[in-house]
Amino acid sequence: MVTGWFTGEGDGFRLLGTCCSACGSVFFPREDVFCRNPGCGGEELREVPLSRRGRVWSYTDARYRPPSPYVSDPELPWEPYALIAVELAAERLVVLGQAVPGVTVADLAVGMEVEVVPGVLHEDAGTTWTTWHWRPTGVTA
C-alpha cells in the first residue's frame, strides 16, 4: 500500500488527492509541496477524497510482465490484465488503474461508468499489498 493514496474499505474506499487552495487544481497522485499547475504559485494543498465513480476515457491490456519495481513471481505464468484510464469529471483529471480481476478489454467501452474498489496488487509471506482497481458499475466481482 502506498501511504496517503487511498483510504477506507468497501463502499467507503476512496482515492486521495490534493487540492490547491489558490487555484482549485486537483492532483493524483497527491502533491504535498507546491501546486503543479504552471499558472499558479500556490503552496497550500489540502487532502481531498476523489470521486468514487468516473467514465472510461481509454483502456488497453497488459500482455507482458513489466520490469522492476513491479512485483511479480517470474516462476509463475504471466496473467494479462486490463488497464483503464478513468475520467473523474468533478476533479477534471484522468486516473489510471487496473480493472478488477475477470474484467477484460472485451468487457470495456469508452464512456462506460466504473467505480473504484480496493484490490490486491501482490501477496507475499503474509503481507498483502493493497491497491485500487476499477470495476464497471453493476459488476459484483
Tell me how far CA of residue 130 lies from CA of 35, 66, 68, 85, 119, in angstroms: 27, 18, 18, 19, 6
2 pLDDT band, cuts 50/70/90, is low
DSSP 69: T
d(CA 39, CA 24): 12
Percent of the chain with pLDDT over 90: 65
Tell me which H or E stretch contains 131.
strand 127-136
Predicted confidence (pLDDT) per residue in 42-83, tens digit: 999 999 999 999 999 999 999 888 777 777 778 888 888 999
**Single-letter amino acid code for the residue at 40:** C
11 pLDDT band, cuts 50/70/90, is confident
d(CA 124, CA 113): 32
What is the sign, positive or negative, of the torsion defined by CA atoms of 106, 87, 115, 96? Answer: positive
